[in-house]
């Protein structure tokens, strides 16, 4: 049986916790659904096995998402595959709504980067990869949509290396050009894997493994071109290397089409075979918290009203060490208080089940733990506090007022709740003006803020945009120097963080150049 510590290590080795990152429309939502198909969570594409035996939407639970057909918030999907527990943290895909994605990436051990072979590297891809590189998150790449016309895959590999700075190392390689995709060469075996379509991609694609001699006879010129491509990859040393992959220096590449299910199984197998299991995690002081030590975890997301009928509040906790058991008392590192975990749930999109236990890599939802904030640490036994989750400085700013002054109480409650969830950042004038300023990275955050204030809190808001273009975190000494300058204002968050807001990025650059000792940071700890 082994010791309790041995059981924790064994359980963690069976976990894979990852996120899918992509530019909008690259196929992330489709790929997520197909993972559920291949893991047996859904019987056909388009429906999830609900507890009642009916069907439910997979992950985009918010009404606004369903109306617009995009992913705005992130959700957690846990499922089993090949005797492993897969924790998929589904991230927003809209180009304007990215801060929630940044936070989610702090809770994963790997990421799958989905690229549309017709478009290659796009701005959002670059932005998200920078976050992965900062956090040293290993990345597996999936070249998607080969069933449609697109770029030469070699050209996409060049973009990955030149724009992102990571060396792509294909493990599967396409036979046939984009738009006439026949299957793949598996570079590990040299064999041809031929795919056959199923109606509307609703079932797993049929796969036939064919040896190179037969493949050459059957596929002719398509096979020759694919073999030439593989030979070129061999010549330049674009071969999978575990050490460089885990260090974030290279990325194993798989090719396929999520829509037709071509290559989906290869990618899901790679998550099990290549992605790292949870490991010891550094605390705030740089010390490692072993995974077999007592329970610890941190809050990476807070969401309210996932179930509007209950008006609840859910804190998502990534388990970092030990065994979580429902009902155990955990210490809140920031306050020192003991919190109850009686109402602990697992989350599958919008569906929930009571969770009795969880291990490193798993995500637990704590219901109505209202004092928790993003980045907070929970632990049992020896004290530990994990580093805070950095937030990015906002780029859009607006003064927020209640349209109906008679609803000011609801307005204030909504502002506080949505700030706590990280939907927007809320800034105040330290000189005394009580009008709150909401700040965001992308335009969609303002849309979500206004939508939820109206429909969840009954407080319509009026947003008046300001002329500020960029912000930097600062300190009191620098704020005092900035106070008399034009084109800049200092605002403060509820946690005391000072932000300097500039009307011109050129004015910011000049001040940074003229005053290199001033504190003007682009990350907020």
Length of the chain: 525
Residue 25 labelled as part of a binding site: yes
Q: 298 is written with which tokens? A: 């941190």
Total Cβ atoms within 10 A of residue 513: 8
97 within 8 A of 448, measured Cβ to Cβ: yes
Residue 468 labelled as part of a binding site: no
Rounded CA-CA distance 174/263 in Å is 10
Q: Taking Cα atoms as reference points, which of 142, 112, 122 lies closest to residue 256?
A: 142
Residue 24 labelled as part of a binding site: yes
Residue 280 labelled as part of a binding site: no
Residue 17 labelled as part of a binding site: no
Residue 125 labelled as part of a binding site: no
Q: Is the dihedral of CA 100, 102, 103, 107 positive or negative?
A: positive
Rounded CA-CA distance 183/223 in Å is 10
DSSP secondary structure letters along 464-504: EE-S--EEEEE-HHHHHHHTT-TTEEEEEETTS-EEEEES-
Rounded CA-CA distance 377/386 in Å is 6
Residue 165 labelled as part of a binding site: no
Q: In terms of DSSP bridges, do strands 110-116 and 139-144 run parallel, antiparallel, or are they unpaired?
A: parallel
269 within 8 A of 16, measured Cβ to Cβ: no
Residue 377 labelled as part of a binding site: no
Residue 93 labelled as part of a binding site: yes
Rounded CA-CA distance 11/359 in Å is 7
291 within 8 A of 12, measured Cβ to Cβ: yes
Residue 390 labelled as part of a binding site: no
Residue 29 labelled as part of a binding site: yes
Rounded CA-CA distance 423/450 in Å is 10
288 within 8 A of 261, measured Cβ to Cβ: no
For residue 270, count CB atoms less than 10 angstroms from its CB and return exposed for 0-12, middle for 13-18, buried for 19 or more: buried
Rounded CA-CA distance 252/230 in Å is 14
Residue 63 labelled as part of a binding site: no
Residue 284 labelled as part of a binding site: no
Residues 6+ apart with CB under 8 A from 492: 427, 428, 429, 430, 498, 499
Rounded CA-CA distance 52/68 in Å is 27
Residue 243 labelled as part of a binding site: no
Contacts from 238-247 at CB under 8 Å and sequence distance 24+? 238/157, 238/167, 238/168, 238/169, 238/170, 239/169, 239/187, 240/169, 240/171, 240/274, 241/169, 242/274, 244/167, 245/138, 245/169, 245/274, 246/138, 246/276, 247/136, 247/138
Residue 307 labelled as part of a binding site: no
Q: Which parts are annotated binding residues for GTP? A: 22-29, 90-94, 144-147
Q: Which parts are annotated binding residues? A: 22-29, 90-94, 144-147
């Amino acid at each position: 049986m082994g010791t309790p510590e041995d059981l924790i290590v064994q359980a963690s080795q069976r976990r894979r916790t990852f996120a899918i990152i992509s530019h909008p429309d690259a196929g992330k939502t489709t790929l997520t659904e197909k993972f559920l198909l291949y893991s047996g969570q859904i019987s056909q594409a388009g429906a999830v096995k609900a507890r009642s035996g009916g069907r439910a939407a997979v992950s985009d639970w918010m009404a606004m998402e369903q109306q617009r057909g995009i992913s705005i918030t992130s959700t957690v999907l846990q499922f089993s595959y090949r005797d492993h527990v897969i924790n998929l943290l589904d991230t927003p895909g809209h180009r304007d709504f990215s801060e929630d994605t940044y936070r989610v990436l702090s809770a994963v051990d790997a990421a799958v980067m989905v690229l549309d072979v017709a478009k290659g590297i796009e701005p959002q891809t670059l932005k998200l990869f920078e976050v992965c590189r900062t956090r040293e998150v290993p990345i597996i790449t999936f070249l998607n949509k080969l069933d449609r016309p697109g770029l030469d895959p070699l050209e996409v590999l060049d973009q990955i290396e030149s724009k992102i700075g990571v060396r792509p190392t294909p493990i599967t390689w396409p036979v046939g050009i984009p738009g006439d995709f026949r299957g793949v060469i598996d570079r590990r075996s040299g064999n041809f894997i031929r795919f056959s379509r199923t109606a509307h991609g609703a079932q797993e694609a049929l796969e036939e493994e064919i040896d190179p001699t037969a493949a050459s006879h059957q596929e002719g010129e398509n096979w020759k071109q694919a073999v030439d491509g593989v030979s070129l990859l061999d010549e330049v040393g674009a071969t999978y290397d575990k050490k460089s992959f885990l260090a974030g220096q290279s990325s194993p590449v798989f090719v396929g089409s999520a829509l037709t299910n071509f290559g989906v199984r290869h990618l899901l197998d790679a998550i099990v075979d290549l992605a790292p299991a949870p490991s010891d995690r550094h605390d705030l002081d740089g010390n490692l918290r072993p995974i077999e030590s007592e329970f610890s975890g941190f809050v990476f997301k807070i969401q309210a009203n996932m179930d509007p009928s209950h008006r609840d509040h859910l804190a998502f906790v990534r388990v970092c060490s030990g065994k979580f058991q429902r009902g155990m008392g955990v210490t809140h590192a920031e306050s020192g208080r003991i919190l109850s975990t009686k109402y602990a749930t697992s989350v599958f999109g919008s569906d929930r089940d009571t969770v009795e236990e969880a291990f490193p890599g798993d995500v637990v939802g704590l219901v109505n733990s209202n004092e928790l904030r993003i980045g907070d640490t929970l632990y049992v036994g020896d004290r530990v506090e994990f580093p805070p989750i950095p937030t990015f400085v906002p780029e859009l700013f607006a003064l927020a007022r209640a349209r109906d002054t008679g609803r000011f109480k609801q307005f204030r409650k909504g502002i506080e709740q949505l700030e706590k969830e990280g939907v927007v950042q809320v800034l105040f004038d330290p000189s005394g003006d009580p009008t709150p300023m909401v700040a965001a990275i992308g335009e969609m955050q303002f849309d979500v803020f206004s939508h939820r204030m109206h429909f969840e809190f009954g407080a319509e808001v009026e947003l008046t945009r300001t002329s500020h273009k960029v912000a930097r975190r600062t300190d009191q000494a620098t704020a005092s120097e900035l106070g008399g300058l034009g084109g800049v204002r200092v605002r403060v968050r509820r946690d005391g963080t000072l932000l300097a807001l500039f009307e011109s990025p050129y004015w910011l650059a000049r001040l940074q150049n003229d005053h290199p000792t001033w504190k003007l940071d682009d990350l907020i700890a």
